Structure 1
């Protein structure tokens, strides 16, 4: 399919030869390719379709002024310029995929632009940094990052193999997006079907699944996010984007991770999006008994003594929250929810918060749960947020269905279905 356009961002001052090769391979795979130069270190070594001078038009910058800047400032300027240019091109309907190559500077520039683009538009980054910590570049986007294996420097048997594969993926992704198959990505803001965001862990799966199936039986589309830190942030972002219309948040371990220092830290803004966007939400403090930590042999000293630890798998340990931590989790929830009024409800499963929080299981600690429940009830009293206590366990038959029923009633009233 000719016509799908791949926008290719690269630092042409250092990677002109490699960029031209990849462009030719994209075209050979049946797509168009528009190259953009964001190199800040000197003159381009090949001819891009959109030079840095084009990005500077109508702005305070010139190529010469960028070249005179300290490298960090120059990278920031180029990042902002290409972000603005690509945004205009996307809004004009001239982009079906965005790709980039780079080392540290190039990866920063390209992924900053990619993160501003909507979910579903293909975004592929070929980077020398792909095997390291890429969180700073990806954040909560759907960027696909691919390791370059060798440095992006020259054409040889390794780099050409990698470049060929990268170009083929880019061309096919753009063709997909421009075709009817890409309709899924373009219907994200369609409200003909209401969407519910959910969160899940392995230890909350049964309850969340029952709720999901009940919601889907009522005609909702459900989006389930692993409460891994990135998952919670992704859900919050999609609420802000208008993709999610209601929330059934049944896995809140990310809050404890933020407060205590666990791996699955979603940051300080967890629970804020639904309140700010004024959409219905039901919260169940599932997995508020759990903090995910590194493997046993890598645990920080502060977690080694006097704590209930559970070997979850070779890459992580789970720790039972104590009474004080559950108080702090409850206070965090109260602070975030108190402005929601009747658009938020809290459903408490008094029988237990996870598959390993019940009599005879390793995380059974009722006094910690009671602290959480009491903090929620006392803190939300008089705010308009209803706190409902259910004697069942999160995994008991009917509990997940009850949570779904509660949200369904709120959404029918809110959206007048």
Structure 2
């Protein structure tokens, strides 16, 4: 198969500095029978002849975002150039996709190039193969990956010319993209309308039981781990109208947002009603704030109750004052959702750690949490159910699923589905 006949792979890079690497990637993809489409995301003049003729030149990428690359280059502001070309690259890959000229994407770059490429590739639909070889791949990757399925591959050496190491890494990246495109379609098919569920290790029994019950009702259940990115992804899907319901039993990310833990989903958590997506909300794992290894817990929390979950995760019990604020915030956000919503409270424990006899058992803190939720929801019309159960009791999961099923059926009837 010739490259011209193969599936199209967008190759993103700043040709002012990464021409050799992009040319090598182009040739490897051609050799694999694929059709590379080189997109130049650079703005500055190279120190040496480029040697690679892009299929989409920098001027076209800049214009896609309303910028003149010559003006950006003369300004000499690298940060502004990266921001502008990121927007242009995003518009460009979406256009290529719409034109049938993008079946996958592969980017090469340092931190600046990765910022440009990641912003662009995150806009591609879930499941479209997207890989970036980057010097940033072994650090904090959250700003690059966000809620996408972007694969970051460590470049090991700097992306600064071809050598025996960089060539091997880039060849592997090309092989990975070729393999993704050659893979047969997944055999799994959705059993029914998609429902999201929020889970943490300490609420796993509840969500596992709920998932099975929902599947028995013909729902496909997408479970998200509430580590910050999980909550943001869940809210993103709600906003896209991709879900028929949300079983939001685990809202622990609110505690990290309030207190300063490492798993905050930010201020948009529990704020998206989407197109009226029904949601059942609980207070799962609001008894804890998450930190890394025990020696990473900030000094200001000296004297607080800690629990070592594993060598990489240390949990801190939320105080009565923090629980009161968390209950108020949760109630305010739920009340503002423009969607059928209900709240269910597990009065005997919000996680596996806060049950009677558990290391985080604190009836005073729980009472403050529950009282704040009650007060915040009073007069709002949001349905509040209180169960004399711990969150991981099977009866709690059954009640929550029944409530969500009721909301979803009523919503479908209203919409005429």
Q: State the TM-score, normalized to the length of structure 2.
A: 0.93
Choose which of 41, 65, 70 in structure 1 pairs with 2:71: 65
- More displaced stretch, 61-70 vs 407-416: 61-70
- With 88-97 and 57-66 compared, the bigger mean Cα shift is at 57-66
String of CA shifts for 1:258-282, please: whole Å, max 9, x gaps: 0000111110111011x24321000
Query: 2:43, 2:70 within 8 Å by CA — same for their partners in 1?
Result: no
Is the Cα–Cα contact under 8 Å of residues 247 and 281 in structure 1 kept in the other structure?
Answer: yes
Match of 1:315 among 296, 312, 315: 312
Query: Does structure 2 conserve the Cα–Cα contact (< 8 Å) formed by 1:12 and 1:45?
Result: no
Unaligned runs of at least 5 residues, structure 2 = none
Residue number in structure 2 paired with 1:18: 21
Tell me which residue corresponds to 1:52: 58
Structure 1 distance, partners of 2:134, 2:271, is: 33
Q: Match of 2:247, SS?
A: strand
Matched position secondary structure for 1:277:
coil
Shift of 1:403: 0.9
* Deviation for aligned residue 1:45: 4.2
Q: 1:153 to 1:242 in 2, by over 3 A?
A: same
Cα distance in structure 2, aligned partners of 1:61 and 1:367:
58
1:59 Cα deviation from its structure 2 partner: 6.8
Stretches of structure 1 lacking an aligned partner (at least 5 in a row)? none
Q: Indicate the residue corresponding to 1:8 in structure 2.
A: 11
Deviations 1:111-169 (A, max 9, x none): 11112222221211100111112222222221111100111222222111111101111
Q: Which residue of 2 aligns with 1:236?
A: 235
Residue of structure 2 equivalent to 1:380: 377
2:294 to 289, 293, 296: 296
How far, CA to CA, are the matches of 2:223 and 2:315 in structure 1? 21
- The TM-score normalised by the length of structure 1 is 0.93
1:3-43 deviations in Å (ceiling 9; x for gaps): 32111101111111111111111122232111111112215
Note the C-alpha offset of 1:57. 5.1
Q: Distance in 2 between matches of 1:90 and 1:319?
A: 46
CA separation of 1:59 and 1:369: change in aligned 2, threshold 3 A: closer
Say which SS state the counterpart of residue 248 (structure 1) adopts: strand
Structure 1 segment 369-408 matched on structure 2, within 5 A: 369-408=366-405
Alpha-carbon offset, residue 382 of structure 1 = 1.1
Change (3 A) 1:174 1:342: closer
What count of residue pairs does the alignment treat as equivalent?
Answer: 407
Answering whether residue 15 of structure 2 is matched by residue 42 of structure 1, we say no
| Residues 175-217 of structure 1, C-alpha deviations (whole Å, 9 max, x = no match) | 44xxx61697xx9xx9x93111111111100011101100010
Contact preservation (8 Å) 1:97, 1:121: yes
**How do 1:74-153 residues align onto structure 2 when only pairs under 5 Å count?**
74-153=81-160
CA distance in 1, matches of 2:182, 2:102: 11
Deviations 1:345-389 (A, max 9, x none): 001111111111112111111111111111111110111101101
